[in-house]
Each structure stands twice: as C-alpha cells, then as structure tokens.
Amino acid sequence: MILRTQDAPGGDPNAEYLSDGITESLINSLSMLPHLKVMSRDSAFMYKGKETDTRKVGETLGVRAVLKGRVMQSGNDLEISAELVDARDDSHIWGQQYSRKATDIFGLQGDLAKEMTSMLRMRLTGDDEKQMMKSYTANPQAYQLYLQGRFWLNKRNEEGTRKAIEFFQQASEKDPTYALAYSGLADSYATPAGFGTAAPKEAYPKARDAALKALAIDDALAEAHASLGFVKTMYYWDLPGAEREFQRSIELNPSYASAHLWYDLALVSTGRVEEAMAQSKRALELDPVSTISNWNAGFIFYLARRYDQAIDQERKTLELDPNFLPAHGLLGEIYGQKSMYTEAVTEFKKGLAASPGDGYALGGLGYAYAKAGRKAEAEKLLNQLNELSKQKYVPALSRTEIYAGLGEKQEAIEWLEKAFVERSARLGVSIKNDPIFDPLRSDPRFQDLLRRMNLQQ
C-alpha cells in the first residue's frame, strides 16, 4: 500500500503524518483478515513519495494489487484520492475520491477498507468485518496525536523518539483508555535502549509498564503483547514469558511483522537458532524491503556462524539504505570473524561517519584493531569510550568486546559483569552464540553468568 502526501495551497506542511497514519491504519486493519496478504508498514513505506512501476513493485513484494493514494489537507478539510491497481498488468481495479473533515478520519478509513475488500471480492464474516472496523479510540484529537507519535517513532532516531514519547503521552491524556497509545509509548521507550543509546534500567521498566497498561485496557492487542515480549527478552531475560507473549501476538495477528522479528531474538537467546531463522524468514516475507527485517536476518545468520550468508544479507540491507549504521556495524563484526580486519575497520568507520560516538560501533572498531594487532589504536578507543561515558550512556559491552579482542580475559570478564549489572540490551540476545565471547566461554565466571541469566549451556 502506498500513500503519498501533497499539501494543498495554504495547507499544513506537517500533515505528512496523516497520510502515513492512514496507510499504517489500513495495513493494520486489512492484515487482520484471513487469506489476505498485506505488506507491512516498512516495506510499503519504501515507496512513499516516489513514482513507482506497479508491476515491478508487485514482483518485488510478491503482491497482486497495489493501493496508491494522495492526501491533501487545507485547514480541517481533507481531499483524498485512492486507486487500487492490478500489479500483474498495471490495470485499474478501483478508484475513489473523498472529501472529508479531519475529524471524520475514522469513517474515512472504514469506508476505504470496506470498499477495497468489496472490490477484491472478499467474503467477510461478521467477526472479520468487526475486527477490520475496530476503532481503539473515539477521540479524534487523541487519534491524531497517536498518528504523530507513530510518524516520529518511525524515523528511528533520537529526536524522533523523544517527540514520539511526547505525542503518545498527550494521546493517552486525551483518552486514558487508548491502548494503542500506551503500546506506542512502550516501543518509544524500548527502541533507543535496544540500539544502545539509552540506559536499559531507565528505559525498559517504563516500556514494560506502558505495555502492561495497554494490555490491561485491551488484552487482544497484538502490538502490546509483542512489545511486552520484546522487553522480557531484552531486559528481564524472561525467555519463557517472552515466548508466550510473542505466540499470543502472532495468534492475534499472524501478519504483524514485528512480532516475528522480535520473537527470533528470544529464540536465538536460548540457542534455538533454526527456529529463530524460521521467524526471521517470516518477518522478511511480510517486510521484504524493510531495513530492520533485512538487517535482523543477517544478524541471525551471524550468530549461526553462517558468515557468507550474513554478508550477502547485510549488503542487501545497505542497498536499501546505504547509511544504516547497524548494517555497517554488523558487517564489521562479520569481517572480523573472517579475519578480514581491513574490511572490518572500513565498515565500522562508515558507520561512525553516519553516527559519531556510537558506543557499539566504537567497540567493534576497537575489537577489529585489537585482532589486527593494532593494540595502541584499540587502547585509544578504550580511553575514548571511558571519556564518552562521562557525557552519556555507553554500553559496557563495547569495552567487553575490545578487551576480548586484546586477549585480556580478566578485564573482558569484569566488563561483562558490568554489562550484566546494567542489563545491557544486547547481552541476553548475543551471549549464547556470539563468537566474540568464544575465548571466555571456558571461564567459570562466564558459566556462572549464564546460570544467573537462566541461559546455562
């Protein structure tokens, strides 16, 4: 599904969130229907605002129809055009123009969903239609604040996350029973902690509380179950509990890509690599041109020691976004394990050019220097990380990695213990399989750490 924003003369230049929100809401509604394959948000949004060849899009995403649209806003007035196109031959299936007030956005989305399913000749049961038309709030202001929160969260940067939290909080204040707003708040707290830019002890408990609040309001909300599963995986190391949450999320909405994406992290944490790969593959089927889904598939390959497949996957990720820092970082890690230290250094430096001061990237670069015998440069990065930690949160694992590369096991174990104390986000996911920890695995202190994390061999 593709919706492009075009502001009417004198319109609100910030109205892009409306087109994004309508698209995402339609995707979420239609993905609940059985026997209908709907591409997830990230893949659909890769084509936002671009002139597209419908047949090529259909072939790339594996879909038979593409929804194109345009949103124009002037004050409280919305003009929306929508067209459903057959991806096989570029023929017109259905089209409609709508003139509505912004306050009638609920009715607009319902009309769009009903007309599209009718044109696709789908026979819906009463329960199907009820689920598709479900509205999580009756407050238009709360809904628009929620859409703005999702718009900013999807930017996946520090500023976007901060603004997303503000909008989700405002949405929940407008409607304290708005479960989706609390689910969005949970994701906003958890996202920066997952990327190592926020202290886990500050972020994850807030994310858990927000997810639990959402579920107290609506226990059938797939998004909130997935959010809670993510927090249980990354911070609480409650893998059985996380698995229950992911399975419930997938039961409620099998097409929710994030549930599959995060479920594979819980599975790989316990060493169930093949099962993790199956969930990673499913996430990619739902989101084939998503940078996160593609990066994550490479990460699972890396933990499985399938380095060549991991390299191919991360190259695909960088084709989608050449500046995606995690892909450069993961390529650096993979090259390091293949003793391709020059290539590893190059990738880490590319990542740092896009995001200077990233703790994980600096740790990876230090590891590559250490393994290449460039001890002085590795130690210089240790000092840099220590100074950086006086200004902001820096994951303890970044220094664990450098010490492991230098072969200084005592210091590596000490920093691994600090990562345990701070509940470093990547520790639970990687400690069972990451080859960086191989030199430490025979140490009794490492085995004791696994025991305390309920991840014994």
The per-residue pLDDT for range 119-153, each reduced to its tens digit, is: 766 666 767 666 666 778 989 889 889 989 998 99
The per-residue pLDDT for range 207-219, each reduced to its tens digit, is: 999 999 999 999 9
Q: Give pLDDT, residue 122.
A: 67
How far, CA to CA in Å, does 291 sit from each of 319, 322, 325?
9, 10, 11
Q: Which of 117-121, 219-223, 246-250 has the lowest mean pLDDT?
A: 117-121
DSSP 80: E
Residue owning tokens 């703005």: 148
Any bridge partners for residue 72, and if so which? 79
Q: Residue 1 — pLDDT band, cuts 50, 70, 90?
A: very low
3-state secondary structure at position 87: coil
Strands (E), 164-311: none
Q: Give pLDDT, residue 385.
A: 97
3-state secondary structure at position 322: coil
Distance CA 51, CA 66 (A): 13
Domains with residue ranges and CATH for the chain: 2-135 (3.40.50.10070), 386-457 (no CATH)
pLDDT of 241 higher than 50? yes
Q: Which residues are CB-contacts of 119 (< 8 A; sequence separation ≥ 6)?
A: 84, 93, 94
Distance CA 189, CA 194 (A): 9
